[in-house]
Amino acid sequence: MNLATPFRTASVLKISFLLVFITLTTYLHAQPKKIYLANDDHTDYMWTGDEETYKKAFSEMLDYYIKLNDSTAHLPYNLQNKWNCDGSYWVYNYRETRSPEQFSKLIKQIRDGKITVPLNSMIVLMGAAPAEATLRDMYYAGSLKRKYGLDLPLVLNMEDQVLPLGLSSLWAGSGARYSWKGVCTCATKVTGLDRHKHQMYWYKGLDDQRVLMKWYSVNPSMITNRKEYRYNLGTYLEAAHQNNAVTDCKALMNDPVYPYSIAGAFGKGGDDLKTLTSNFPKVAKDKSGADYEVIVSNEIDFFTDFEKQYGASLPTETTSYGSTEWGNSFASLAEVSASVKRAIEKLRTAEAVYTFVALKDKKFAQDLATQKEKAWLACGMYFEHDWTADGPHITRKQRADWQKKTAGIFISYVDTLYNRSLKRLGQLIAKPNNTTESFYVFNPLNWVRSDYSDYPYAGPATIRVVDKTDGKEVPFQLIRKKDKPYLRILASNVPSVGYKVFEIQKVAKPATFQSSLAVTDSTIENRFYKLKFTAQGVITSLIEKATNREWVKAKDKLYLNDLGSGLGNQGDKVRVENKGAVSVTLMASSYKPIKHTSKVTLFENSDRIELENYITQNLDAKAVTYAFSLNLDKPDTWHEEAGAILRVKPTIKGGHYADTASRFDWLAMNHFADMSDASRGMILSNRDAYFMKVGKSTNTKLDEDTPQLKVLAAGQIDNALGMINQDGDSYFEHFLALKPHIGGFNANDAMRFSLAHQNPLVAHPIQGGSGYDPSQFSLVSLSDPDAMLWALKPAEEGIEKGIIMRVWNVADTNKAVTVSANVPIAKGFNTTHIETDDQAISLDKGKLTTELGHNRLHTFRLFLAR
């Protein structure tokens, strides 16, 4: 054996390793850092011009960039021009204003990565808006994905200074993978925009779904000196000046806070109406070199490159910076905004009944396809981000008129679908006895319910109402609501997502029913509670009889349902509006502190306390709130932000809110808020309002300890922003409901309570026909009570493409759930919330069994056996 051989081999290995190391080092050193520059217009709709002006500008810009993109297609990738729309409405508008051939060319450029289109319709303020509004806003983009096979992974929430937490889950569940955030640093009370903890991170929801987020800190000089043309990173016009943007990106990549060799500067247009420039390829060519490659970006290329290199090691954030800042101005047009919120909730019943009808009448509502498409766009565009309405070209009156028109487009579709579907279902339910008046009571929720239902009725009082499932009489009373007569019944055990039939029979003498409902002066009670109600609609005492606990404890001389009058008693004498076997309602009317009417209703067979509030005068800029001061010590407050249920504490204290760059004074109040201590609490269901204040919270500090909630009825929250004096409106509705509970906060109980309050059992006449059972019917049910049916509808392309079912697991743990239907399920698929990317789910004997992720909203596509 030659002893020199091992040494010779070792020497060769050392030399080889050294050569590889030198080669790798040289290669890494030779790789230039990358700077992505993205051109977009940033749509400030109804800001610089009116609606028609913007529509014209959108199409002209797309014409320009389609041509420019083609003219540079022969160049290296980094020098090829690209264009970035900031909303899918651009595509819709181009389809409406250009030829089919031109539209096809636009679609090709989107498919080829030359033009980027995000999922959102425009730059919209979601978070305070209902979750379903966020999803319907992306439905047009979903239709583009399905029809043309497009990949649209980007979604945006721009210019507004804050960022909700729940959007991450809604976006990711809709197929989004990437987002970037650029703020204005104007018209804001948010501080700390220059101190973001992370510049690039995984924006992760409570359900662990995530989106790759680019949100650069703003340079302090941009905040203090708006005239500078440098340091635009972190704003919504990072690439407004392309040469400076390159300089800014180089500086960022040499800053320890940004340990990455890839940076991006996105956005040029700012507040301009139209952006037409061919400068980006020129700058990319001039500024590229051995150390830096500058790339004209479609934004997606930045994210895919960045994710490939750094995605596995990026930090995550599961934090809310506040639902919205400029969206506070929704309350400056409060009743219109409330009507949109009500319509979004009404859509739940409309589409569920529509599903029943479409299963028997497949052509039903096909004539509404165009109206539906416009409605989904309007549902998002109502929340377009320029709610400050303080622009130099469009008056506040013009803006208010546009908001009202946009709301009307959406509401008109919902009302049309609702009324037509209810009527058609009444024609499909069999009616053996045609001599008597019958009606069905429909339950859009996924659990068996016993609750009141109001049937429009102007007939005699000498009747009895019979449940057709067992032939027994049910308690009823005749009432009036908004000067219209109704028959109110107790409808017991109405099945999950189904109906039950009742018959009205004439009798000589109606039956009487035992009742614990009682009224004495300004006191109202049932077997659950005893309340004191003042002439100004304030609840000064709420005794829970089971525990003899007083739930009201005044704070700053404010009680429950208190507009600011406290113990004042100025107004008409409290009177009984309706009283019978099902419910009793007290009504108070007063001019103090503003002209309003308030009603409180207790029920014989329900522990829900319902409040109806009507403000009947025009309002100025001052915030108008309903205070709820509770007898609790150091409570926790939880509430629904769109797509998430949050604890009102900073993250460092176990809550969900960021410490900086946040807006805390007005938090989202979607379906509910709950204020609880360890042993008990109160659920507050909210039908109409968008915001609430917790205790004495300010824009920079949460008040976690004061047991008081203030529901924002109306107002201009930030001085001089929003509509003036409610654009002249003088009528406002705010319906609320209360329920004390034992134990701490429970998301299931809170959500069920609020959904039941805001989705009443709906009654409608039966004309008699064939198709559905004459006594009762249930279409679907879910095995786990934590699974909340969020939507049930025919697929967008029609019932032949299946039934879309959206389910929210509100529990903190994953849940195995079985979905059962009245007939066997033939096929089941997972799909995105915007109805794309189906994946088959295995079935077991005609039932769908799957696991729902914790805190997650799921969407399924079901095909029922014929």
**Per-residue model confidence as pLDDT tens digits over 417-438:** 999 999 999 999 999 888 899 9
Tell me what pLDDT residue 432 has: 81
User: β-strand 292-297 against 463-467: which pairing, if any?
Assistant: unpaired
- The lowest-confidence range among 2-11, 507-516, 716-725 is 2-11
DSSP assignment letter at 245: H
Under 8 Å between Cβ of 9 and 1: no
Tell me what pLDDT residue 510 has: 87
Mean pLDDT to the nearest integer, 190-212: 94
Q: Where are the alpha helices (DSSP H) in 31-181?
A: 51-71, 89-97, 100-111, 131-137, 139-148, 167-173
Quick one: which of 430, 349, 359, 425 has its CA closest to 775? 430
Sign (positive or negative) of CA dihedral 74, 77, 80, 86: positive
- φ, ψ of residue 148 to 5 degrees: the values are -115, 5
Neighbours of 24 (CB within 10 A): 10
Neighbours of 853 (CB within 10 A): 18
3-state class of 189 per DSSP?
A: coil
Q: What is the pLDDT of residues 563-605, one digit of tens each?
A: 999 888 888 999 999 999 999 999 999 999 999 999 999 999 9
Tell me what pLDDT residue 25 has: 44
pLDDT higher at 720 or 113: 113
* Mean pLDDT taken over the chain: 94
Tell me what pLDDT residue 577 has: 95
Reading the block at residue 796, the tokens are 């967008």
The residue type of 35 is I
Tell me what pLDDT residue 220 has: 84
DSSP assignment letter at 77: G
Alpha-carbon distance of 618 to 727, in angstroms, equals 9
- The lowest-confidence range among 25-39, 169-183, 251-265, 769-783 is 25-39
Q: How far is Cα of residue 654 from the mean position of the Cα atoms in its chain?
A: 24
Mean pLDDT to the nearest integer, 819-835: 97
pLDDT at position 667 over 50: yes
Q: What is the pLDDT of residues 84-141, one digit of tens each?
A: 999 999 999 999 999 999 999 999 999 999 999 999 999 999 999 999 999 999 999 9
User: β-strand 210-214 against 178-180: which pairing, if any?
Assistant: parallel
User: β-strand 210-214 against 83-84: which pairing, if any?
Assistant: unpaired
Under 8 Å between Cβ of 177 and 153: yes
pLDDT confidence band for 27 (50 / 70 / 90): very low
Exposure of 1 by Cβ count < 10 A (0-12 exposed, 13-18 middle, 19+ buried)? exposed
Q: What is the pLDDT of residues 501-542, one digit of tens each?
A: 999 999 999 889 999 999 988 999 999 999 999 999 999 999
Report, in angstroms and rounded to the nearest whole number, the Rg of the chain calculated over CA atoms.
Answer: 30
Helix (H) or strand (E) holding 866: none
Tell me what pLDDT residue 22 has: 42
Tell me what pLDDT residue 226 has: 64
Tell me what pLDDT residue 426 has: 98
pLDDT confidence band for 646 (50 / 70 / 90): very high
Q: How far is Cα of residue 569 from the mean position of the Cα atoms in its chain?
A: 39
pLDDT at position 28 over 50: no
Quick one: which of 293, 352, 31, 299 has its CA closest to 154? 299
Sign (positive or negative) of CA dihedral 416, 417, 420, 422: negative
pLDDT confidence band for 26 (50 / 70 / 90): very low
Cis-peptide into 593, omega within 30 deg: yes
pLDDT at position 16 over 80: no
Q: What is the pLDDT of residues 251-306, one digit of tens each?
A: 999 999 999 999 999 999 988 999 999 999 999 999 999 999 999 999 999 999 99
Mean pLDDT to the nearest integer, 305-324: 97
Exposure of 65 by Cβ count < 10 A (0-12 exposed, 13-18 middle, 19+ buried)? buried
pLDDT confidence band for 353 (50 / 70 / 90): very high
Q: What percent of the chain has pLDDT over 90?
A: 90
Q: Tally DSSP H helices, then E strands, for the chain.
A: 15, 45
Tell me what pLDDT residue 511 has: 86
Reading the block at residue 161, the tokens are 């200074």
- The lowest-confidence range among 5-19, 385-399, 621-635 is 5-19
pLDDT confidence band for 556 (50 / 70 / 90): very high
The Cβ-side half-sphere exposure at 438, using a 13 Å CA radius, reads: 27
Reading the block at residue 653, the tokens are 């204290």
Quick one: which of 859, 759, 785 has its CA closest to 352? 759
Task: Point out which residues pair with 233 in neighbouring strands.
Answer: none
Under 8 Å between Cβ of 2 and 9: no
DSSP assignment letter at 627: E
pLDDT confidence band for 8 (50 / 70 / 90): very low
Tell me what pLDDT residue 305 has: 98
Mean pLDDT to the nearest integer, 333-340: 98
pLDDT higher at 490 or 22: 490
pLDDT confidence band for 7 (50 / 70 / 90): very low
pLDDT at position 15 over 50: no
Alpha-carbon distance of 383 to 377, in angstroms, equals 10
Q: What is the pLDDT of residues 764-774, one digit of tens each?
A: 999 999 999 99
Exposure of 767 by Cβ count < 10 A (0-12 exposed, 13-18 middle, 19+ buried)? middle
Tell me what pLDDT residue 6 has: 42
* Residue ranges of domains in the chain, CATH in brackets: 31-153+170-185+204-318 (3.20.110.10), 438-513 (2.60.40.1180), 518-758 (2.70.98.30), 779-866 (2.60.40.1180)
Neighbours of 176 (CB within 10 A): 26
Alpha-carbon distance of 60 to 302, in angstroms, equals 27
User: β-strand 115-116 against 644-647: which pairing, if any?
Assistant: unpaired
Query: Residue holding tokens 């507009």?
Result: 563
Q: What angle do CA 656, 660, 663 make, to 5 degrees?
A: 75
The DSSP result for 808-864, as a single string, is EE-SSS-EEEEEEESS-EEEEEEE-TTS-S-EEE-EETTEEEEEEPTT-EEEEEEEE
DSSP assignment letter at 367: G
Mean pLDDT to the nearest integer, 452-481: 96
